[in-house]
Amino acid sequence: MGSDTACQSCDLLVSVAATKHGESASCPRCGCFLTRCYDDANHRVLAYSSAGLMFLLFASSYSFLSLSRSGVENKITLLQTPAALWSYGMPEVGALVAAFIIVIPATVLAMMAALCILINQGRYHSWLVPLAKGIFLGQHWSMVEVFIIAVIVALVKIAAMATVVIGISFWAYAAFTVCFTLAVSSLDRYQCWERIEALKAQ
Partner 1 sequence: MCLKLAPADVRQCPRCGSAMHVRKNDSIQRTLALLITACLLYIPANLYPVMYTDSLGSAEGTTIMGGVVLLINLGSAPVALVIFIFSVMVPSAKLMAMFYLVWSVQQQSSLDLRKRSTLYRITEFVGKWSMVDIFVVTILVALVQLGGILTIKPGIAALLFAGVVIITMIAAENFDSRLIWDNMEEKNSAN
Catalog residues that contact partner 1 under the rule CB under 8 A: 3-6, 8-13, 29-32, 65-70, 72, 74, 76, 80-85, 88-90, 92-94, 96-97, 100-101, 129, 132-133, 136, 140-141, 143, 146-147, 149-154, 156-158, 160-162, 164, 189-190, 193, 196-197
**C-beta closer to partner 1: residue 88 or 123:** 88
**C-beta closer to partner 1: residue 57 or 198:** 198
Closest approach of partner 1 to the CB of residue 36, in Å? 13
Closest approach of partner 1 to the CB of residue 49, in Å? 20
Residue 36 three-state SS: strand
Kindly state the helix (H) or strand (E) to which residue 66 belongs, with its residue range: strand 63-69
**C-beta closer to partner 1: residue 50 or 169:** 169
170 residue type, one letter = F
Q: Which residues contact 65 (CB under 8 A, 6 or more apart)?
A: 75, 76, 151, 155, 164, 165, 166, 167, 170
Closest approach of partner 1 to the CB of residue 52, in Å? 18
CA distances from 12 to 7, 28, 29, 65 (A): 5, 9, 7, 49
The b/e string for 50-85 (b: 16+ C-beta within 10 A; e otherwise) is bbbbebbebbbeebbbebeeeeeeeebbbebbbbeb
Closest approach of partner 1 to the CB of residue 75, in Å? 9
Closest approach of partner 1 to the CB of residue 26, in Å? 11
**C-beta closer to partner 1: residue 51 or 192:** 192
**C-beta closer to partner 1: residue 30 or 117:** 30
3-state helix, strand, coil in the chain (%, to 5): 60, 15, 25
Closest approach of partner 1 to the CB of residue 94, in Å? 8
Residue 148 three-state SS: helix
**C-beta closer to partner 1: residue 51 or 102:** 102
